[in-house]
Chains A and B, each alone.
Chain A
Amino acid sequence: MKIRLADDEIRIRLNHDDVVRLIDGGTVDCVVMPGAYSIRMTTSAHTRSEVGFTATGIDLTIPPGVLPDNPNEFEPHTWGGDAGHPRVMIELDKQRRPRTRSG
């Protein structure tokens, strides 16, 4: 998982294994700042996705219906920020190969 934290936007890039865990009904946790701030993603039987902000982090609930059979086909998911909270975006990390000297 990779996380980009800005004042108005939190972008979470899941890797393949994270998506597999969600598809299997598991929970994906990311401790951004130990003891201070964390992000937890779960799936639920509810049809609506939900995002909850707390003083110490974000809880995201993703309904199984938006999860693909193939983890590599995970579509970006966005919750619009409101009440002063940042917008939250989840996407699949496209693993790029590092560049070499030839750039």
Chain B
Amino acid sequence: MPRICEKSATMETVITHTVGGILAGGDSSRMGTSKSLLVVDGMSFLERIHRTMTAVFTEVIVCGGSEIPSDGVLIPDEQPGHGPVGGLLSALRIARGRPVFVTTVDMPVVTSEAIRSLAEPEAQGSTVRIAQVAGEDQPLFGVYGPDVEPIARTIFDEGRRSVMAVIDEVDDVTRITIDSSTLFNVNTRSDYNVLIERYGL
């Protein structure tokens, strides 16, 4: 059974210009239990993603939810239960004028290499750079420039909860193809079973 391996980050520069954000505020309704605490290959999803992110960024925050990884910082959602736009807003607010890279807690096998392919170079203005898998946009794995904050705020205040609504309002969007296995997304117990069969508990 393969282990989830990461290349050593010791030879790579840690990114300081961008804040890493882990969106963990979902209610995991289809899973029926908190996805942050699910385990793969001996580590919870949240701890695993946090470890990967802290190897890439000097600043990593968890947006939403209630679990905090070791040596982690949690920023509760402004309004819990209002979708990922709220988490994106929290990250942009904390970043104070810097871009943010966001990923979600239900993609536990993301690699630092995939993150770097999107987070470097620094996203200026309202630049957005998101992953694309098999032709499908993955807006919850990407980097958002600081000027996206007012756009996301408007979308949020209008009651729209899809990050794609934010993407639709931005002119400068770059899509980068990422391998589907890297962005394996766990939403249901059957998804989780596939992950466990692949990597073990």
Interface residues of A (CB under 8 A from B): 1-6, 13, 15, 32-34, 36, 98-101, 103
Contacts and interface: CB of A to CB of B under 8 A. Distances in A.
Contacts of A98: 37-39, 43-44, 47
A103 B33 contact: yes
B70 A2 contact: yes
Contacts of A33: 59, 94
Interface in B151-194: 189, 192-193
A15 B70 contact: yes
Contact of A100 (B16, B32, B39, B94): B39
B75 interface: yes
A5 B72 CA distance: 11
B74 A103 contact: no
Contact of A4 (B37, B44, B76, B201): B76
A101 B190 CA distance: 11
A36 to B, nearest CB: 8
A99 B38 CA distance: 5
B72 A3 contact: yes
A2 B32 CA distance: 25
A42 B172 CA distance: 48
Given A2-B68, A4-B76, A34 B34 contact: no
A13 B39 contact: no
A3 B34 CA distance: 19
Contact of A13 (B32, B34, B68): B68
Interface string B71-110: 1111110000000000000000010100000000000000
